[in-house]
Amino acid sequence: MDFQQFFEGSCFDAYKYFGAHIQDEGIVFRVYAPNARKVTLIGEFSSWNEIHMDRGYHNVHSVFVENAKVGMMYKYRIYIDEHNFVEHCDPYGFSMELRPNFASIIADLDEYEFSDEDWMKSRTKSYDEPLNIYELHLGSWIENKDDVNGWYKYEEIADLLIKYLEDNHYNAVEFMPLTEHPADISWGYQSTGFFAPTSRYGTPYGLQKLIDELHKANIKVIMDFVPVHFAIDNYALVRFDGTPLYEYADDSMGLSEWGSYNFIHSKGEVASFLKSSANYWLDKYHFDGLRMDAISRIIYWQGNSDRGINQKGLEFMKTLNSGLDERHKNVILIAEDSSDFPKVTAPVSDGGLGFTYKWDMGWMNDTLDFFKKTPKERKGNYNKITFSMMYFYSECFLLAISHDENVHGKATILQKMYGNYEDKFPQARAFYAYMFTHPGKKLNFMGNEIGHLREWDETKELDYFLLKYPIHDAFNKYIKRLQKIYMSSPALYDKDYMPESFKWLIVDDKQGVTYSYVRKSKIQKIVCVFNFSDEYHKNYEYKHDKKVRLKEILNSDWDIYGGKTKYQDGNIIDSICVRKQEIFTAYEEDFTTLKEIDAPKEVISKVENISYEHYIKMDLPPYSARLFEVVIIG
């Protein structure tokens, strides 16, 4: 570690120096506590008796303990005066004991040997590939009946998780924070151990093995990373050396809206702590990416644009992302940012923040709000569905339906749909067809795929018993089919962030509440048609610029998925040649259609100044989506 870089805030490897490290026949301990009166070490190796630590260069306190071994617990006693001290876990500790206890544990991070070298060399950022992320809370995804807490160990859950991800056609998993944290109810977002995987699910070795196994199955692994704030527990970072070392001195800036403490990113040693933590998870655990939480709180002072931009926060973000990109080939960096701050996903060299993707919070809020509304209200809110494409190409957006949309009285995704129990399912099927055909990468929280009704609770496993009910089983089969189509259809992911991959076909049918667009790649076109009204549109028709034949690949109203239309896979629809003659429909001036000409084509072709177009005619059941692959273009 370079001390100049450490104090400048540009150090990414502080974990290689600070903490507990195996050396010769013992362990060397180092901790940074510049304002402490003195620091002592206690642990199992000393029968919890104090061992004096020498204050050395740059106020680093250190000691070598010959009989300390891997697996032993330890703490630091930070003296604020000659007699008073606070016991702390190691800020750079690699492992910790289970809450409510807080001792750090000596760990050997080189014990596990990864076998994913080829994966690490060949992985990509997935710009022109499908990226379907399953967001997961490891402690409540599935219950281990043989564990008193109901938890599986990291390595134990590997086979179950991989099979589930494969069966449901996910190619990435995002773990909610795995850094050590004292309160289960915080879900890991208020951490005490920024270098320690939570002991709820085992050891560093076990987590390394889990990630290695996921890579063997060609599944990307992303972890939620929290660079904004930390837990208030006095044994961790709070007033670590008797002074606000990691946080602001003024609580008006230091305390967050969540009751935690905000990091002071302008302080070099704090910036280096966080940069080293982010780098550590990518380096030592081979995570493929980090989803960074609450980024607007770094961009603006306490997330409030009225208070102005936090320039030091921006500098921290830019140097963090560019530094990680330089060190890790094709790492994926995702911003959870609810602001409209520009160029979040632009390269730092072009004045951006350097993220790979940004959650599209606008799309999520508008779309879910639309589906909560009555069919009548949807006519007046028609543009909530179309608005996202007005700004989509300003960033590399990721469409996320996360845990935040399934808790705190918001209702689950299925419950958000308008209407009674039976009406919610067709709307949810249509909603997800819209999501998976809309440009942008995808993320769904666990339980969305089975039509979860109960809001998520971190103390309970998912309600898998729902799959015993035919309507939920059919819904899950539908989601599997939809996600398989997404994963195998270049038109739905290739050139996602290029305008030529998307074209509106129907974008003005406010009365019928129908929409249509085509997704395109060099080798494939998929036409997507939606009816978000409660009306049955018989012989619905829309224009196409050329003669076309469509093969139906998915109908959300098929009876096998709980709908009313008889299943007919591969149904073919041919366009009809028409004379260009506009007439008003039942939707008045909001929509136009075309009238077929009865005269033979060879007669009509002799009339001057007559042009021909083509249209597709189909039935659209209420709350439905139909997807077609273009198989012939004339």
Q: Which residue numbers are catalytic?
A: 293, 336
Q: CA-CA distance, 328 to 274, in Å (whole number)?
A: 16
Query: Which residue is associated with the tokens 């018993």?
Result: 465
Q: CA-CA distance, 424 to 422, in Å (whole number)?
A: 6
Please compute Rg for the chain using Cα positions: 28
DSSP class of residue 153?
A: P
Provide the greatest CA pair distance for the chain. 106
Contact 184, 201 (CB under 8 A): no
SS3 category, 265:
coil
Structure tokens at 147: 């564990």
CB atoms within 10 A of CB 510: 17
Query: Which residue is associated with the tokens 């209200």?
Result: 377
SS3 category, 364:
helix
SS3 category, 602:
helix
Q: CA-CA distance, 291 to 434, in Å (whole number)?
A: 24
Q: Which residues pair with 77 in a beta bridge?
A: 40, 87
CA 38 to chain centre: 43
Conformation bin of residue 58: beta by default, left when phi > 0, alpha when psi is -120 to 50: left
CA 82 to chain centre: 48
CA end-to-end distance (rounded Å), the chain: 65
DSSP class of residue 197?
A: E
Contact 528, 546 (CB under 8 A): no
Contact 552, 569 (CB under 8 A): yes
Q: CA-CA distance, 540 to 516, in Å (whole number)?
A: 12
List the Cα angle 190/191/196 in 5-degree steps: 160
Q: Please report how the helices 158-167 and 204-216 are oriented relative to each other, as an axis angle in degrees rounded to 10.
A: 30
Q: DSSP per residue over 301-327, as a string?
A: GGG-GGG-B-HHHHHHHHHHHHHHHHH
- What count of Cα atoms within 13 Å lies in the side-chain half-sphere of residue 342? 4
Q: CA-CA distance, 415 to 396, in Å (whole number)?
A: 29
- What count of Cα atoms within 13 Å lies in the side-chain half-sphere of residue 33? 35
Q: CA-CA distance, 382 to 373, in Å (whole number)?
A: 11
Structure tokens at 415: 């419950």
Q: CA-CA distance, 486 to 497, in Å (whole number)?
A: 16
Bridging pattern class, strands 588-594 and 502-509: unpaired
Contact 345, 391 (CB under 8 A): no
